[in-house]
């Protein structure tokens, strides 16, 4: 009996140690992979030195990542990382699709893609290249300066860019040292709102309907699979009922999807239901990648078709020269997290929303699409989420405040990690973009926009008074 007990205890101990080793290996791989992808994109897309990316992007995300070492190969356009000298991961850069994190052990990946070449910018389009005039209003200049201030010694805001569009005109912009009007910067989860816009283009073209069952092949292989009933609307509203852990611990579903899995959309679509569709709201980056897969399948499946659709359906009509959607190993855009664009180009997306999907007289989105997208999701307890857009609507519970009490209730936004924001306020005809690498919870967005509203309202009042005198 004693021998049996010793054998069982030993077996359990060995199994625990084996599992612990496997888990540690997965954790290190995820950490190294996350770092490789961000160093590659930051260097080859944004033009930032690797050490700056370490200090301003990685370490604020997790102090654990201070143990990363990296090597950037400019000739072969790749970045390699290790953590504690182990778990080497590689990300490679390809024109048109930016950086892709390779699965562990893979050395290269060729993207056979014909990349769109832009000619001379059309001067008739809003915001041609060139700097906006410096603000003549001292109050406006101070509001912009405040956005770049560092009031908290523990958590840097690291604001990189602010762009202000009022009445359809670029009225102010300011950039950190090393950043300019054409520097692509990460949107993180603002990419989710871009997925919404791309779905909108397909709805306008009659290729999708928001109320149809999402055409995810694995959900329709078995007629009894309840996931086959999940609609595109439910995915857009984060109400699919699919299991997905979004807590950003070192090996949660979202971390694994972004840093380990080679097919982000397939990984998310493999999750089981844990609730009836529409029964509960649960924020999930996985659903955005499922939608990215739906878009790819709808436009033809090939990477070239996919890329051309984003360019011709959305980016080129807006004159967006800097936008890059990045892919996973499977060639599917990581629609939850990985789009880079300049602050001006992010502002153009906001202005498109403000204009209900019309640009330069051409309708890109279905009439009423933005109204649909900004209608609160019924099962969202805070009343602050629509269809892949965040809302500033009044909560159903009157004891709670709006997300931004100092801003109008009709404000809505694209939101991303580390304080990325595109704020759209229809009642004030205003779009504000704030991009940066904030380490704390307060990137200063609300005081920035509230200050702009105050100054712009004052300018309008002064202009009105001058007109009356004349």
Tell me how many domains the chain contains: 2
Label residue 345 left, alpha or beta by phi (over 0 means left) and psi (-120 to 50 means alpha). alpha
Here the tokens at position 257 are: 């999807």
SS3 268: helix
- What's the whole-number mean pLDDT along residues 241-249? 90
The pLDDT assigned to 443 comes to 93
Per-residue pLDDT tens over the stretch 64-84: 899 999 999 999 999 999 999
The pLDDT assigned to 391 comes to 98
Would you say residue 251 lies in a domain? no
Q: Report the interhelical angle of 303-310 vs 190-204 (nearest 10°).
A: 90
pLDDT at 57 over 70: yes
Would you say residue 152 lies in a domain? yes
**121 or 384, which is more confident?**
384
The pLDDT assigned to 10 comes to 54
Per-residue pLDDT tens over the stretch 275-284: 999 999 999 9
Q: Which residues contact 286 (CB under 8 A, 6 or more apart)?
A: 242, 244, 253, 254, 257, 264, 267, 268, 271, 336
Burial 114-136 (b: 16+ CB within 10 A, else e): eeeeeeeeeeeebbeeeebeebe
The verdict on 390 and 446 lying in the same domain is: yes
pLDDT class of 410 with cuts at 50, 70, 90 = very high
Per-residue pLDDT tens over the stretch 222-234: 999 999 999 999 9
Task: Please state the separation of Cα 58 from the chain's center in Å.
Answer: 16
Per-residue pLDDT tens over the stretch 285-318: 999 999 999 999 999 989 999 999 999 999 999 9
pLDDT class of 392 with cuts at 50, 70, 90 = very high
Tell me the average pLDDT of the chain: 90
Burial 303-339 (b: 16+ CB within 10 A, else e): beebbbbbbebbbebbbbbbbbbbbbebbbbbbbbbb
- What's the whole-number mean pLDDT along residues 95-112? 85
The pLDDT assigned to 462 comes to 57
pTM of the entire structure? 0.92
**Which residue range is the domain that position 452 belongs to?**
138-208+308-463
Residues facing residue 101 across a β-bridge: 91
Would you say residue 427 lies in a domain? yes
Q: Which of 124-133, 158-167, 353-362, 431-440 has the lowest mean pLDDT?
A: 124-133
Would you say residue 372 lies in a domain? yes
Per-residue pLDDT tens over the stretch 6-23: 655 555 554 444 445 556
Residues facing residue 359 across a β-bridge: 362
The pLDDT assigned to 106 comes to 77
The pLDDT assigned to 121 comes to 61
The string of DSSP letters for 56-94 reads IIIHHH-GGGGGEEEEEETTTTEEEEEETTEEEEEEEEE
The pLDDT assigned to 19 comes to 43
The verdict on 59 and 6 lying in the same domain is: yes
The verdict on 95 and 161 lying in the same domain is: no
State which of 55, 74, 101 marks the end of a domain. Answer: 101
pLDDT at 131 over 80: no
Would you say residue 373 lies in a domain? yes
């Amino acid at each position: 009996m004693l021998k049996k007990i010793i054998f069982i205890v030993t077996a359990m101990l060995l199994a625990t140690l084996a599992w612990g080793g496997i888990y540690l290996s997965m954790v290190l791989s995820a950490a190294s992979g996350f770092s490789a992808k961000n160093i590659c994109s930051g260097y080859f897309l944004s033009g930032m030195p690797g050490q700056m990316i370490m200090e301003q992007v990685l370490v604020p995300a997790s102090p654990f990542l201070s143990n990363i070492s990296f090597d950037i190969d400019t000739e072969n356009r790749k970045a390699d990382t290790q953590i504690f000298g182990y778990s080497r991961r590689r990300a490679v850069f390809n024109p048109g699709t930016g950086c892709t994190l390779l699965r562990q052990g893979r050395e290269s990946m060729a993207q056979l893609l014909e990349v769109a070449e832009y000619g001379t910018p059309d001067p008739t389009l809003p915001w041609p290249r060139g700097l906006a005039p410096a603000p003549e209003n001292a109050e406006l200049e101070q509001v912009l300066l405040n956005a770049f201030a560092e009031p908290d010694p523990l958590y840097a805001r690291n604001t990189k860019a602010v762009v202000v569009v009022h009445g359809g005109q670029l009225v102010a912009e300011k950039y950190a040292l090393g950043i300019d009007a054409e520097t692509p910067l990460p949107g993180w989860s603002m990419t989710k709102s871009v997925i919404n816009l791309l779905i909108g283009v397909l709805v306008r073209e009659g290729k999708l309907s928001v109320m149809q069952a999402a055409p995810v092949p694995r959900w329709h292989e078995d007629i009894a699979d309840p996931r086959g009933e999940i609609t595109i609307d439910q995915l857009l509203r984060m109400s699919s009922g699919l299991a997905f852990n979004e807590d950003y611990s070192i090996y949660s579903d979202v971390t694994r999807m972004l840093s380990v899995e080679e097919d982000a959309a397939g990984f998310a679509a493999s999750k089981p239901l844990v609730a009836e569709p529409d029964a509960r709201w649960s924020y999930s980056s996985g659903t955005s990648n499922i939608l990215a897969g739906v878009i790819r399948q709808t436009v033809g499946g090939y990477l070239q078709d996919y890329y051309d659709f984003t360019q011709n359906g959305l980016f080129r009509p807006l004159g967006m020269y800097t936008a890059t959607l990045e892919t996973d190993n499977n060639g599917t855009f990581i629609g939850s997290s990985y789009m880079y664009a300049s602050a001006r180009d992010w502002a153009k997306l906001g202005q498109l929303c403000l204009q209900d999907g019309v640009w330069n007289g051409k309708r890109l989105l279905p009439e009423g699409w933005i109204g649909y997208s900004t209608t609160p999701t019924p099962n969202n307890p805070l009343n602050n989420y629509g269809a892949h857009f965040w809302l500033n609507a009044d909560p159903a519970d009157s004891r709670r405040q709006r997300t931004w009490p100092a801003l109008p209730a009709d404000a809505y936004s694209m939101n991303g990690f580390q304080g990325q924001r595109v704020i759209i306020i229809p009642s004030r005809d205003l779009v504000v973009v704030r991009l940066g690498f904030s380490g704390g919870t307060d990137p200063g967005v609300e005081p920035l926009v509230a200050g702009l509203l105050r100054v712009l309202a004052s300018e309008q009042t002064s202009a009105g008074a001058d007109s009356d005198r004349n």
